[in-house]
Structures are given as C-alpha cells and as structure tokens.
Structure 1
Amino acid sequence: MSENRKDIGGLLLIYHCPIAKTPAFIEDHIDSFREFSRHDVRTINTELGFPDGLEEFEFQVLVLSFTLFAWKPFFISQEFREYIQKSRAYKVAFFQDEYRFWPERSEFINGCNIDCVYTNIEPPYFDETYRRFTSAKKVVHYIPGYVSTRQIENGLRSSRPDSEREIDIGYRGRPTYHYMGKGAREKNVIATKFAEFAAGSGLVLDIEAAEERRIYGGDWLRFLGNCRGVLGVEAGVSIFDLNDEMRPRYEKIMAERPDISFDEISRLLLDEYEDKGVYNRMISPRVFEAASVRACQILFEGRYTGILVPDVHYIPLKKDFSNIDDVIRKFRDPGIRKTLSDNAFRDLIESGKYSYKAFVEEFDRKLSDAGIVVSKDPAVVGKDVELLILGHGYRRLFDLVALGEEKYLDTLRPYVALQHQYMAQQQQLADLMAGHIDLQGICMAQQQRLVGFLSATGPRAKVLRGLRKIKALLTHKN
C-alpha cells in the first residue's frame, strides 16, 4: 500500500453485510451516518472486497461497524486490516455481542491502534474490560439500536386501533446456545411459561419460540401492530467469558455430549460463571419497535439500561411468574394498556431522545471534542474516491451476478434433464394406458358376445341339458 496518501477529509464507514438482503437494523445503522452526520460520509461493504486504489486516499475518520465483528474470523481481509493499521485517521470501532471473542477483539483494537470504542458494556465495567485489555483512549457507551425515521413511518402505518387488533398477546423468541447462560434463555422461557400460565385465560395468544416461526422485515411490524400486547426480556447474556477460559471447557463437553440439557451443563460448568463479573444485559431494540406501534409491553423485571420504568412504560412480570395473575388483570384493563403504550410512545419514540438523529449528532460532538474539524470538501479528489468506491462495488456486483448465473445454470441443467426423462416416462405411461384401454374394449366385446350367446339359447338350465346331450352322443359314438 502507498505511504503517500492523499488527504481528502470526511468519514469512511466500513461495514459487512451479505448483498442478497441487508437487514433493516444494519441499514438504519449505516444510513444514519449518511443522513445525519455533518461530515462527508462514504461507505464500503467488505463483502465486495477491497477497492483497487483505495490505499491512495486518507480520510479524517474511519468508522468500523459492529457488523465486521459479528463472527470469528472477523469480516476484515488482510488488505482492509493493513489499510486500517497504516491510516492516520481518527479510528472508531463499534462493538456488540461482546461476551464472545474478547481476546480477538482486544488484539484487533491494539494492533490497529483504535482511538475510540463504542460499546454496549455499561460505564462501571469499562475499567475491567477495555481500559484493562486495550490501548483505546476513549470508551463510549451506546445501546444496540435506536429509532430510525423509517421505523417511525412504518410503525404508524402498521399500527391498528386497539379494538381492531386480532391478537391479545404476541411474541417471537428463539433458542439460544447454552454458553450464553440463563439470561439469554429468558427469550425462550418467557414464551413457553407464559403460554402455559395463560392457557384457559380466554386471551388470544400468538406466542412462538422456534427459529422457523420468526418474522422479519415489514411483516414483523405488521405483526406487532396487530397485537394489543407483547412479551419481552432484556437483550444480552448472563455469562461474560472475559478471559476466554469457559468456552474451551464448554466445547469439550458439547463435543462429548452434544445432546446434553441446559440444566445438566449448568450443573457441570455454567453455574461457575453465571452473573459473575461484567454485567451484560441491556434494553433491546424490540422495545422501541413495540413502542412504535403502541403495543402494551409485558416484560421480565430488569434494568433495561435505566431507560424503562415499570408500571410507567410496561407491566413488570416476575421471572418466577409469581405475579402472573396480577399481570393478566392489569393487561385486561384497556385503560392501563393505553396509558402504558402512550407513555412508551411519548418517551421512547416521540421525544426523539433515542433516535438515530440524536445518536449521530452526539457522535459528531464527540468527534469535535477529539479535535476533528468537520470537512465537507467537494474537491475533485473527493469525487474521485466516490467514483472509485461506487465503481468497485458495481464491478463486484456484476462479477457476483455472473457467478450466480453460472451456478444457477449448473443447478438448472440436471433439473432440465430430469424433466425430459419425466416427460418421456409420461409418454410411455400414456402408451401403456392406451393399450390397456384397447384390451378393456376387447374384453368387454367378448363379454357381450357371451351374454348374447346365453340369451339366444334360453335359460341356463336348458343350455346345460343341451350340453349333456351333446356329451352323451359323443360318448355313444366312441
């Protein structure tokens, strides 16, 4: 890579997302910088590879999305890593799901000289995490998701009047890995237990916890908008494997006993780590989604990042379900439902306090505090890099489309061959059927002749006497 880069100012946001379909929350995260930042923002998806010529340019700020660090190895090629390492820009990395891959995350921060980290970990735990293991100069807390303009508009479109909603209480959860602990399992527990306790209550429930029953995209908000109430839990996990010591032991047990139950592996291993060290529970983006369609929320008791207040924004449900009767009583009251859903809409959505706009404006202020001066220079060199990124993206897309077309044809060819074979077999079957019909016709004609013969010779008894006479004559002759 070139050491003499052209300084073009602005902000480069690097993220990763499969090109087939970008989930809404990732689009909201990326689009918010483009829409609300005072800086000149350009974006690159590492899924499309490293753009030729990018190494010639230097930005003021590099922002690395949490999507790059979703799995191991991280979605950052060696070319991207070298570019980040050599960059003189102010480097900001966003992280989520920080309970895993902690050694790899620390190594990346230190190896690439990241200046600022945005984390879902709460400030009381900064000292024992990022400040202890990394060289990052600044650590900032943020929540996993904010409210986008699109979400507000879709929420208003999807929301029905309370009297027209067909579902009383709805929910979609999912199975979780054992190593995430009891906290993560709450997503499943609240579904199965609530359905159990509310059976026979007369409430219309649409509660599922299986992966295949999850709902995505616009269908999800439409589902929420058709529910008077929804269940919910805190996001995050209750086991934070900071030193990466639990995971190898866990994997060894799972390799030997893949069908082991959660209770048993908890007894053998996980209980040692439950709710120890770093607290990693937080408000979920689902809370904002439910608030946007004014669905009354029934949530397990929790901190919810200090944003929600029980009996103001939601009906609190104890995790042992000991207050389930009181919860259902409150929920049945239309006045309570309206008050809670109106409060949540006002404080979480209408206030704008938790909007992406407010989040990015605060992000820009923190850049200013770090000495970053806003640069929106429409210079030719800036346009050049814009064209470079766009051109690379389109070329890569064309390559993938061509590759996909060839794979499609490879799949299609044997299918077409099978179709021809099937059509030939259909013709053979038709020929056999025609032959069968001909034989049926012959058989029916012979039957008809026999019936005619019997009719012509009179009653059956008379025919038999005639046959006996013929037999006697033949015997006499012999």
Structure 2
Amino acid sequence: MHKKLKTLYLTANGFGKVVVTADTVLRGILRAKDGTPPPAMFRNNKYIVNLYAHLRQFYDSLSYIGDWQDAFARSPRLDVEVCNINNLVDFGRCLLKIRSYDLIVVSHAAAGDDMTILTKAAPLLARRDCPMLVFIGNEYDLLDEKIAFMQRVKADRICSQLPFNAASYLYDGIDGSRILSMPHALNPDVYRPPATDDREVDLGFVGDIYWPFVGDEERTHLIRHFEACGAEYGLTCDIRAGQMVRLPRDEWAAFLRRTKGLIGAESGTYYLNDHGKLLTRARDYNLKENQQASFAEVFEKFYAGVTPGVSGKSVSSRHFEPIGAKCCQLLLEGDYNGTLTAGEHYIPIKRDLSDVAEAVRAFKDEGYRRKIADQAYEHVMDNHTYARRVEFALSTLF
C-alpha cells in the first residue's frame, strides 16, 4: 500500500480584520469553538462581544466550500491537514513546516473574497518542495491579485470553474502553470434522493438575483416569470429570490428533496472582454459607486455596443446538487461546461422564454420528468462527483 501524501489544505472562514482577529485570538490562542460565549466579565464590552459573535461558519450557505474540503479529506491517497488562514497562529505553524508537505491545496475559500493574507504569505509558500493546486473562488473579483499570487508562488495547477477556453483566456500568461477546468460537482453524501418520492413542491428556486454588472437579465427574467405565472401553469411553486437569499447546506438539501423541479441558468457573464477588465469596471461601479443603478443604466454605461468576447458562462454547484436529489431541472439553454446535455439531463428553455409553456408541459409529464431526473443522476454519479474531481486533479500531478 502506498504511503498517503501529506497534504496541507488551506481554507478561510470569511474575511476581514474582525474575522482574522477573532480566528487568531479566540480560535488560535484561546482555542474557542463555534458558538462559544464571551466570558461573563466581558459581556458588556461591545468589542469583545462582537469578536465572539464571529465564532461561526461564514460560508455555511456556500455548499461547495464544505464539499470540496470533504472530498480532499476523504481521498484515500491523502493525509489532509486543514488550515484556516485567518487563524494566523495555525497558519504560521503550517508555514514554518511548509517543506514537510507532499501537496498544498489552496481552496476557493482561501483564494476567494480577500487575497491579503495569501499575498503576504506568497514568499513562504513559494519555498515549498511540493506541487500546489490553486482553486480560484469568486473568479471575477480581485483577478489581478489572484493572478499575481499564482505567478509569485508558481502554482503548478490552476483550477478554474470556467470552461477551459475561458480559463485559458484569463490565465494563459502564468508561466509554468497548467490550467484545469474544474467546475463544482456533486457531494452524494449530502445531496441524495428522498426515501419516498412524495414531493410537496412542483417547482422551486432559492438564490440571489444577479447584480446588473453581470451584463444580462436572462436568469432574472426566468425567475420573475415563474414567480408571476407559476400558478397559471397549475404549479405549486416555492421561489425565494433576492440579494443574499441562500440556505445552509443541510436546509438546501432538504429543500431539494421535497421539490420536483428547479429552475435555473448558467452562472457568470458573457463579457470577459479585455481579460475581465470590462466586467471589473462594471462591478466596481455597481457595487462601490451606485448600488441602486438599474440594469438598463449599467448596461448602457458599460456594455451597450460591445460585442461579447470569450464567454464566462459556466455550470455551478447549484446545477449538480438538484441532480443528487433527483430533482428535475428546467434550465435556460447553454453549454454548462459540456457537463449537461439538453433534453437528456435537463429540460431546456430558450433564453427568450418563447418555449416556456412547452417546457412546462414536458415537465408536468411525470414519466418524462422522472426519466430526465434519473438520466441526470446516473450521469453525474458516474462522472461528476467531487471525489472524481479530486481524483482527476491528483492524476495530473502524481
């Protein structure tokens, strides 16, 4: 039997100065756990109370964060040590022994919302004696910082959620790195079919309405259509859409098990023009200067008259999770990284919604709906679990 590879898995539980202070002082020094209350003598101290309030899991509603970590931890080839980089005590210990590892994995959570800590640690991470996998989270944000980090540490593999041609367009200039298209996948231990198929909801959705800077409203129009017309189709709908409308992993899995079907579309943008810089400008304006801007205003300011370049539209974890629960999907037509086929793994709807009534009729045919859900389940279990993704990534290194 081969010796397991000693693996350092870098993650992050949220971001920001308060989070780092809480994780370093409370978790790193005092060894506090989630939910630990402040000592009685400090319960009137607002700063201390706020620090203790940060002893929680900030990414609980982003299922893929836990799913990727679980898949690496369960790999029979790996002996995994998980390190939260916001806990500077533990992260410092890991950096001191950086040359003792056989593999380093930088997760989506670590290379996602804030690059401050990883950027400062880059010179030490570059001294490793082993391969490094970097999974890029929140792929359209802080892109210049993420590319600079990967160049500085000489990342061996760049793992992108995007289709390969889009990932190559963004990252091809990083010397010595091989780009892997590594979309999210299914965790069948969490997302599984119900014990009985007695589902109370016909059609559901839980998620954010995309900000205008993304550059299209196709998904939003689909959601709003079923909000307004679901009952007219004779469907019982549970649609929860807005800003930051998400469920923790177990609640989301339970929602899927009681729902016959889910609506959705590819994630991301059509506008990766200028290596993502156009999108960055639109994003900065929308989020930092004018959060109340309408879609029409943002589109006119940044995208009107612009021919979309390389598309960043992609499959997401939210497409695989329903499949694990055998929940049939009605999705806007798209490529979905080449992982899902229209009419075989989901019921397609044209982007202009011109055939939506036809798609609903197909969905209401119980035999057809079950056939689509079963085919999608078998396909994903064979090809698109997180365990398969980890196995593939390792096969490119060892």
Q: Deviations over 1:202-247 (max 9, x none)?
A: 2211122124653322221221111121111112222326253553
Tell me if 1:137 matches 2:177: yes
* 2:300 alignment counterpart: 267
Distance 2:250 2:335 in 1: 29
Tell me if 1:244 matches 2:277: yes
22-31 or 109-118, larger mean C-alpha shift: 22-31
* 2:44 alignment counterpart: none
SS of residue in 2 equivalent to 1:34: helix
Stretches of structure 1 that go unaligned for 5 or more consecutive residues are 1-7, 369-478
Distance 2:178 2:165 in 1: 14
Distance 1:253 1:219 in 2: 31
* 2:164 alignment counterpart: 123
Tell me if 1:11 matches 2:43: no
204-213 or 112-121, larger mean C-alpha shift: 204-213
Judge conservation of contact 2:115–2:146 (CA < 8 Å) in 1: no
The offset of 1:200, in angstroms, is 2.1
Counterpart residue type for residue 346 of structure 1? E
Q: 1:248 to 1:38 in 2, by over 3 A?
A: same
Judge conservation of contact 2:331–2:348 (CA < 8 Å) in 1: yes
Stretches of structure 2 that go unaligned for 5 or more consecutive residues are 15-54
Mapping for residues 307-346 of structure 1, pairs under 5 Å: 307-346=339-378
* 1:112 alignment counterpart: 153
SS of residue in 2 equivalent to 1:129: helix
Tell me if 1:177 matches 2:211: yes
Q: 1:269 to 1:346 in 2, by over 3 A?
A: same
The offset of 1:314, in angstroms, is 1.4
The offset of 1:26, in angstroms, is 1.6
Judge conservation of contact 1:146–1:355 (CA < 8 Å) in 2: yes
Distance 1:284 1:243 in 2: 19
The offset of 1:28, in angstroms, is 1.8
Counterpart residue type for residue 65 of structure 1? S
% same residue:
22
* 1:356 alignment counterpart: 386
Judge conservation of contact 1:97–1:236 (CA < 8 Å) in 2: no
Judge conservation of contact 2:270–2:309 (CA < 8 Å) in 1: no
Q: Quick one: which of 200, 214, 227 aligns to 1:166? A: 200
Distance 1:253 1:126 in 2: 24
Distance 2:134 2:287 in 1: 33
Tell me if 1:86 matches 2:127: yes
Distance 2:334 2:244 in 1: 28
Mapping for residues 355-434 of structure 1, pairs under 5 Å: 355-368=385-398
Tell me if 1:97 matches 2:138: yes
SS of residue in 1 equivalent to 2:298: helix
Mapping for residues 416-455 of structure 1, pairs under 5 Å: none
Distance 2:287 2:316 in 1: 29
Counterpart residue type for residue 175 of structure 2? S
Q: 1:273 to 1:96 in 2, by over 3 A?
A: farther
Distance 2:73 2:291 in 1: 45
Counterpart residue type for residue 20 of structure 1? R
Q: Quick one: which of 20, 32, 42 aligns to 2:81? A: 42
Distance 1:235 1:245 in 2: 17
More helix by share: 1
The offset of 1:127, in angstroms, is 4.5
Distance 1:254 1:35 in 2: 38
Judge conservation of contact 1:114–1:135 (CA < 8 Å) in 2: no
Distance 2:250 2:288 in 1: 39
313-322 or 195-204, larger mean C-alpha shift: 195-204
312-321 or 20-29, larger mean C-alpha shift: 20-29
The offset of 1:334, in angstroms, is 1.1
Q: Quick one: which of 86, 107, 115 aligns to 1:65? A: 107
* TM-score, length of structure 1 as denominator length: 0.67
Counterpart residue type for residue 397 of structure 2? L
Q: Deviations over 1:47-95 (max 9, x none)?
A: 21143544145122222112112123444263x3332022232222111
Q: 1:302 to 1:126 in 2, by over 3 A?
A: closer
The offset of 1:257, in angstroms, is 5.0
Mapping for residues 155-234 of structure 1, pairs under 5 Å: 155-156=192-193, 158=194, 160-161=196-197, 164-182=198-216, 185-211=217-243, 213-234=245-266
SS of residue in 2 equivalent to 1:209: strand
* TM-score, length of structure 2 as denominator length: 0.79
Q: Deviations over 1:84-123 (max 9, x none)?
A: 0222322221113322322112211112222221112323
Q: Deviations over 1:418-460 (max 9, x none)?
A: xxxxxxxxxxxxxxxxxxxxxxxxxxxxxxxxxxxxxxxxxxx
The offset of 1:286, in angstroms, is 1.9
Counterpart residue type for residue 169 of structure 2? E
Tell me if 1:286 matches 2:318: yes
Q: 1:298 to 1:248 in 2, by over 3 A?
A: closer
Larger radius of gyration: 1
Distance 1:336 1:314 in 2: 11
Distance 1:37 1:165 in 2: 36
Q: 1:48 to 1:264 in 2, by over 3 A?
A: same
The offset of 1:37, in angstroms, is 4.4
Judge conservation of contact 1:32–1:356 (CA < 8 Å) in 2: yes
SS of residue in 1 equivalent to 2:396: helix
